[in-house]
Each structure stands twice: as structure tokens, then as C-alpha cells.
């Protein structure tokens, strides 16, 4: 039997906080705040509670603190208020820069760099590939930080000139392997070691949804991360909790709250890790994230569509959830519906939307705006298309925002950033979720 004299360090690993997401929220009349911001703060508070109460020896944050690099002050303050509790309790923390934290202007993560500027005791901002030796109350540990990689982090413009995206991707991974190896070579072999990285692993799975990568994204081969020098590989970026490798443990804790309906069926939480040199174990700790409920049915053949829809709502357990009702119906059945009764039935939810899909017999007319010869920019084309799709109305804003972001990124020369467009097409309904943060 192994006699382990070293005490295990206790590490709380969380990621993808996305504090400041407001979609599906409503204004809390008592506080004047968007209720979703309060939900995200509540989840973050539970993470920090655990770290402080236990106490943890170290907190590792895997990146994507906010939806973008310039969060409003109230959101910055809510984030700072929680992480400050760690500083007060003398618990060191590493804040890694995710793609949402990166500002396109200048170096480093604009939204998190403030913690370095302020020199918050025990706080490290991981905005480059670097090894940090951290003193905790139960011993030292070393953390290699690997923030979200863009081409410019490791390659010069001259090196990538004339290369295809695939070639650039390969070159970047070759370069990353060399840089990581250099970090690994200077590690102290007697200390527990964690790689903390914000990236898309090419073996990460996203559930049953089909995925399209918009632009050519850099995915990092799992083999690069499964190095014997690491006792634990703490990841961020993918919102679905998953374990990619057992030895060493390579873990995405996932996001702490659901960001959109694409995460409806995912448990949300953080990881509690116990680690010593050559030894690590972890436990996924679920958080009571706000439930999302999709109620989707086809009442085209129903004698009493109203009763069928009400029954479906009743069965869905929508109390305090973010609900969406999607029903397919024939135009001649619309008279049988009492929509105010549907609203009443959905009122137990935290927030809801109703998306009727009226099945039309007539052929859908081509959009006159989209005739050959007409040149529309992508946003106008999408807007024109959406204006004809009543059933997508509920998603229209999200689709436009996501498109805007994608276009913005490619314009800023960041087309290599990995944004996964998740396009499940269940029945008649098309949803695009920005799945990863």
C-alpha cells in the first residue's frame, strides 16, 4: 500500500462563469437587476462559499468570466465581490483568460488584468503560457497557465503568410508543443502540477447535437494535454461538464449556469479536486442552476389542441424555470386556442416564450429581397430571411447577435477563434446556440 506522507491539496476548479448574461431574464423589481445576472451571481456565490468554508487551498478559474472583455461596472463589481472573499480568506486564485475575456486591442485580458494591476494578494492572472509556483497553506503547487490561443500569440505574421488555415493550425500546434515542453522541462518534479487551459480539445463531446465550426478553429489534440508531468488538467471553454482522460485527469467542469437552451439537459457545477504529486482525484459538484424547459409538441391532429398544450405544460414542471413552448398547429385550428389561458398556465415559470408554428399549405414564396443580382450583406440577408420565419421569431435576436459576433471576429482577423455553431434541427425548429463560451 502506498504510504502517502504528503497531504492532498484541495483545489476548487470552476470555469465559464459568463457573469452578465441577460438573455431569458427579467427585471427583478426588488433590486432593479436583470434576474439572470442574479442567477449567475448566486451560482458563483455557492462556489466561493464552498472554497471559503472548506477551506480550499487554491481556486482555479478556467476562463470566460464575462460575456465580453468590457463588462459593465455593476457586473465587474459583482464578480470582484465574490473573488475578493478568497483574497480575504487568504486563498490564492488563478484567473485564466478565455476567449471572451480577450480584448482585441492591446495585450492581455482587459476584464481580468485589473486583478494584476491591483496586485490582489494571492491572485494570478493567466494571460500567457507560464508556470506559476503557488504557496498554499498546505504546501506548494505549480500551475501552467495556457490561456485562449490566437495565432498571434505564438506565430508571427511572416510565418503564417500565404498559409492556409489548416497549415496555420498545424504550425500553431507544433509551436505549442515546443513551448509546453519547455515549461514542462523546468517543472519541479516534487510538486503537484496542474495545467490550467482554456481551449477546445479535439476529443471534447457536446452531446447529441451536430456541430459546425464557423471558420477554421484551432482544436488542441488531447494527446498534447495528457502528459505524465501533469497531475490534473483543468480546462475551460466547453460548457458541458466532461472528463476527457483519466490518467492524468483532464476535466471540463462546464459552465456554472445555463447560458442558453442548448444546455437544457446538462448538469451545471464545479469540480472539487484533491491533488498531490503523482495523485489526483476529483468530484463534480452540481449547482442548483436555473432549469430550462422546452415544451415542444405537434397538435395538428388534435381534436382539442388547447387541452393537449395545457396538458404538456402541466407535465413539464416549469416552476421557476425558463420555459419555451413550441407548438405546431394548422391555421384552421387557431380559433380553438385561448392564448390567454396558455399565458396563465406558463406564469409559474420564471420567464417564458411561446413560439407557435402555423403549418401552411401554400408553398413558401421566395424572398424578393434575395433575388439573384441583388447584393445583400450577410446581416441584411439574415434579417430578410428571419422576417419570413415567424417560428424563429423567438430566436431572431440571438441569431442576429451571434452572427454579428462571428462577423466581428472575422473582421478583426480572429477568424481562427473557435466558435462552434450548434445547429440541431429537431423537426421544424431551427436553433443556433453559441455553445461554447
| Residues found near Mn ion in the complex (CB under 5 A) | 64, 98-99, 237, 437
Q: How far is the CB of 129 from Mn ion (least distance, A)?
A: 17
Provide the 10 A C-beta neighbour count for residue 414. Answer: 17
Q: How far is the CB of 436 from Mn ion (least distance, A)?
A: 5
Kindly tell me which of 193 and 417 has the beta carbon lying closer to Mn ion. Answer: 417
Kindly tell me which of 25 and 437 has the beta carbon lying closer to Mn ion. Answer: 437
Kindly tell me which of 92 and 98 has the beta carbon lying closer to Mn ion. Answer: 98
Rg (CA), the chain: 24
Residue 251 β-bridge partners: 234, 243
Which DSSP symbol is given to 364? Answer: P
- Give buried/exposed letters for 343-362 (b at 16+ CB in 10 A, else e): eebbeebbbbebbbbeeeee
Kindly tell me which of 192 and 254 has the beta carbon lying closer to Mn ion. Answer: 254
Q: Is the dihedral of CA 44, 48, 49, 50 positive or negative?
A: positive
Instruction: Provide the phi-psi class of 273: left if phi over 0, else alpha when psi is between -120 and 50, else beta.
Output: beta
Residue 235 β-bridge partners: 197
Instruction: Provide the phi-psi class of 426: left if phi over 0, else alpha when psi is between -120 and 50, else beta.
Output: beta
Q: How far is the CB of 437 from Mn ion (least distance, A)?
A: 4
Q: What is the Cα 129 distance to its own chain's centre?
A: 22
Burial of 155 (0-12, 13-18, 19+ CB in 10 A): middle
Q: How far is the CB of 15 from Mn ion (least distance, A)?
A: 8
Q: How far is the CB of 68 from Mn ion (least distance, A)?
A: 11
Q: What is the Cα 223 distance to its own chain's centre?
A: 23
Detail the DSSP E strand segments found in 76-127. Answer: 93-96, 123-126
Distance CA 209, CA 36 (A): 25
Q: How far is the CB of 62 from Mn ion (least distance, A)?
A: 9
Kindly tell me which of 192 and 253 has the beta carbon lying closer to Mn ion. Answer: 253
Q: Are 198 and 148 in contact (CB under 8 A)?
A: yes
φ, ψ of residue 59 to 5 degrees: the values are -120, 130
Distance CA 429, CA 190 (A): 55
Q: How far is the CB of 63 from Mn ion (least distance, A)?
A: 6
Kindly tell me which of 237 and 328 has the beta carbon lying closer to Mn ion. Answer: 237
Q: Are 199 and 220 in contact (CB under 8 A)?
A: yes
Kindly tell me which of 102 and 321 has the beta carbon lying closer to Mn ion. Answer: 102
Kindly tell me which of 64 and 357 has the beta carbon lying closer to Mn ion. Answer: 64
Closest CA to 217 of 233, 234, 196, 238: 238
Q: How far is the CB of 98 from Mn ion (least distance, A)?
A: 4
Q: How far is the CB of 100 from Mn ion (least distance, A)?
A: 6
Kindly tell me which of 98 and 262 has the beta carbon lying closer to Mn ion. Answer: 98
Amino acid at each position: 500500500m502506498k504510504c502517502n506522507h504528503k497531504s492532498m491539496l484541495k483545489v476548487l476548479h470552476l470555469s465559464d462563469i459568463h457573469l452578465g448574461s441577460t438573455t431569458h431574464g427579467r427585471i427583478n423589481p426588488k433590486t432593479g437587476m436583470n434576474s439572470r445576472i442574479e442567477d449567475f451571481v448566486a451560482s458563483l456565490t455557492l462556489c466561493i462559499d464552498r472554497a471559503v468554508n472548506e477551506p480550499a487551498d487554491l481556486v482555479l478559474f478556467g476562463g470566460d468570466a464575462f460575456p465580453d472583455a468590457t463588462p459593465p461596472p455593476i457586473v465587474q463589481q459583482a464578480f470582484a465581490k465574490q473573488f475578493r472573499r478568497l483574497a480575504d480568506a487568504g486563498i490564492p486564485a488563478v484567473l485564466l483568460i478565455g476567449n471572451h475575456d480577450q480584448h482585441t486591442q492591446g495585450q492581455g485580458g482587459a476584464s481580468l488584468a485589473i486583478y494584476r494591476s491591483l496586485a490582489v494578494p494571492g491572485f494570478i492572472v493567466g494571460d500567457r503560457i507560464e508556470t506559476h509556483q503557488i504557496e498554499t497553506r498546505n504546501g506548494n503547487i505549480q500551475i501552467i497557465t495556457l490561456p485562449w490561443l490566437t495565432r498571434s500569440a505564438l506565430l508571427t505574421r511572416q510565418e503564417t503568410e500565404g498559409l492556409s488555415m489548416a497549415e496555420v493550425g498545424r504550425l500553431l500546434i507544433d509551436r505549442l508543443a515546443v513551448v509546453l515542453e519547455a515549461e514542462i522541462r523546468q517543472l519541479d518534479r516534487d510538486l503537484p502540477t496542474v495545467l490550467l487551459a482554456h481551449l477546445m480539445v479535439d476529443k471534447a463531446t457536446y452531446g447529441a447535437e451536430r456541430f459546425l465550426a464557423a471558420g477554421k478553429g484551432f482544436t488542441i489534440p488531447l494527446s498534447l494535454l495528457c502528459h505524465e508531468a501533469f497531475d490534473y488538467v483543468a480546462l475551460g471553454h466547453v460548457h458541458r461538464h466532461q472528463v476527457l482522460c483519466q490518467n492524468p485527469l483532464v476535466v471540463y467542469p462546464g459552465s456554472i449556469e445555463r447560458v442558453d437552451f442548448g444546455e437544457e439537459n446538462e448538469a451545471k457545477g464545479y469540480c472539487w479536486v484533491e491533488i498531490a504529486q503523482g495523485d489526483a482525484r476529483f468530484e463534480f459538484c452540481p449547482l442548483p442552476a436555473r432549469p430550462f424547459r422546452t415544451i415542444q409538441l405537434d397538435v395538428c391532429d388534435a381534436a382539442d389542441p388547447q387541452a393537449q398544450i395545457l396538458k404538456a405544460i402541466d407535465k413539464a414542471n416549469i416552476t421557476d424555470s425558463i420555459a419555451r413552448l413550441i407548438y405546431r398547429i394548422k391555421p384552421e385550428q387557431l380559433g380553438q386556442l385561448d392564448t390567454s389561458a396558455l399565458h396563465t398556465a406558463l406564469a409559474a415559470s420564471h420567464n417564458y416564450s411561446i413560439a407557435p408554428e402555423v403549418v401552411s399549405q401554400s408553398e413558401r414564396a421566395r424572398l424578393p429581397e434575395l433575388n439573384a443580382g441583388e447584393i445583400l450583406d450577410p446581416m441584411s440577408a439574415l434579417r430578410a430571411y428571419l422576417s419570413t420565419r415567424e417560428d424563429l421569431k423567438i430566436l431572431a435576436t440571438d441569431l442576429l447577435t451571434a452572427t454579428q459576433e462571428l462577423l466581428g471576429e472575422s473582421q478583426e482577423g480572429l477568424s481562427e477563434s473557435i466558435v462552434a455553431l450548434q445547429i440541431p434541427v429537431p423537426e421544424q425548429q431551427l436553433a443556433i446556440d453559441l455553445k461554447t463560451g
